[in-house]
Amino acid sequence: MQIDPSYLPKLRDYYAKHHVIPSYAAMGKLWGIAAKSWVANCVGRLKEEGYLKVAPDKRLGPGRRFFERALASSKVAAGFPSPAIEDLHDTITIDEYLVRHPSQTVLVTVKGDSMIDAGIHPGDVVVVEKRNAAQPGEIVVATIDNDFTIKTLAKEGGRFVLKPANKAYPVLRPKELEIFGVVVGCFRKYR
């Protein structure tokens, strides 16, 4: 059975607005289908393909593929224009791309502009893998005097220092340095 390609996007939009998967009756209205058996067949197909799942309390919920987004096989030129992208072949989820250890991963909103030359701007959200060790060159979230900061870990004369990515800020040379975690990704919302 082939389901209408607009059904999943409509379901995703509903979920984004209401944070629940609608009832079968509400799905019928959403999709413009009157027959409950047809809605049940569509839901069955979405479950088979991993977009929906049944929770222990028998409610429908998002499946492992529900949050997948299309990933173009072509890259976008940041320099000179290139032909338009129409080849959406692969899919990806943000968790799959940025999160290796969900139980050790937190999202942190950036305050300040000390890392702006590394592409990390105020208001960005960084994906931080919590661990207490890091390698020089990695961007870390560290604690100094009970305050959190995000900087690049470096070594000077055998000691660890924290380097900003903005010339307006000094290198931090703490007597005691505690690594909270390593930044593994960053994202921002433009609107």
Cβ 110 vs Cβ 150: under 8 Å: yes
- Backbone Cα Rg of the chain: 23
37 is annotated as an active-site residue: no
Candidate list 151, 155, 167, 175, residue with the active-site label: 151
74 is annotated as an active-site residue: no
Candidate list 114, 130, 167, 175, residue with the active-site label: 114
HSE on the CB side for 61, CA within 13 Å? 7
How far is residue 185's CA from residue 7's CA, in Å, rounded to a whole number?
A: 32
Separation of CA 126 from chain center: 9
The catalytic residue positions are 114, 151
